[in-house]
Amino acid sequence: MKIGLISDLHTDSTEANKAIVPHIINAVRDANLDVFILAGDVTPKLSEFYEVLGEFANADLTCRKLFVPGNHDIWVGKNANMTSEQKCGVISEICQDHGFHHLQGTAYTVDGIGFCGTIGWYDYTFASDEYDFSTEQYSEKQLMKSVWSDKHFAKWMDTDQNIAHQFEKELEQQIQSLRDKVHRIIVVTHHVPFRECLRFREELPWDYFRAFMGSEGLGRICLQEPLVTHVLFGHVHYAVNQKVKNVRAICSPIGYLHEEPIDGLQAFAEQRLTCFSLPNGT
């Protein structure tokens, strides 16, 4: 089975981010994938989200398409009559309309390999050890005139910690549901599952904002399950491909394209689409 991963399209951020979508589709088609995974942060705009997933649907790709939302995807406007939980429901409907399986809701199995997924969230367990900020200071999501935008646009009906633990529990339940049905499990999250995948700079406000990258619980759940061999994620805008104990951790983002890549959008899309192959069957 050949699997491809990409994340963090951020099509609302620049013209280049919007323009790269057909190039990603070309890269997916040329890679001859069996499974394509989009690990969140497409756009906070529902109309644009619908349009982008529609481009993939209209391309008649033969591979299975899996999705988990990112924090930008669940953002709602300040005056919107919608919570982030409700927006997750709308996203699920859009995925269904365009041939994407929404892993946030249910696991997916193909050829003896199970895929589990969640947006994940953060509970400040990735906070830097170099500073002594309180839980209350992290919950403010701002420091030195810099603001983590979830403060204004992520509207969950509970605290960050409880939301993070809720998603961890749902992921664990997905994994448990597959234990007797598959020989391998691949976990897909948007938020970062391992501290080892983070980059600290020993400077502020950069290190302060690492607290909003993910949660230790996500990684712990993956590491304690022997069937989990790969954890795929997004959120950070640099590529990751490293072994963390018994699993391979991979992040393959587009990120913010403030300038068009030197080699062009097609070459950049091909470079950022991370592909790997796994044996089928038991």
> In this predicted structure, what is the pLDDT of residue 277?
97
Is the confidence at residue 269, as pLDDT, over 80? Answer: yes
What is the CB neighbour count within 10 angstroms for residue 83?
15
3-state SS assignment for residue 26: helix
Q: What is the mean pLDDT of the segment spanning 218-238?
A: 98
Please compute the mean of the pLDDT values over residues 20-36 and round it to a whole number. 98
- Residue 96 backbone phi and psi in degrees, to 5: -60, -40
Q: How far apart are CA 82 and CA 75, in angstroms?
A: 10
pLDDT for 280: 77
pLDDT over 90 percentage in the chain: 96
Domain 2-277 has CATH 3.40.50.2020: no
Q: Which two tokens stand for residue 110?
A: 């193909």
Q: What is the pLDDT of residue 60?
A: 85
pLDDT at 197: 98
> In angstroms, rounded to a whole number, what is the distance separating the alpha carbons of residues 146 and 100?
35
pLDDT at 108 over 90: yes
> Where in the chain are the domains?
2-277
pLDDT category at 282 given cuts 50, 70, 90 is low
**Can you point out the beta strands (E) in 192-259?**
228-233, 240-244, 247-251
Q: What is the CB-side half-sphere exposure of residue 54 using CA atoms within 13 A?
A: 6
Mean pLDDT (the chain) is 96
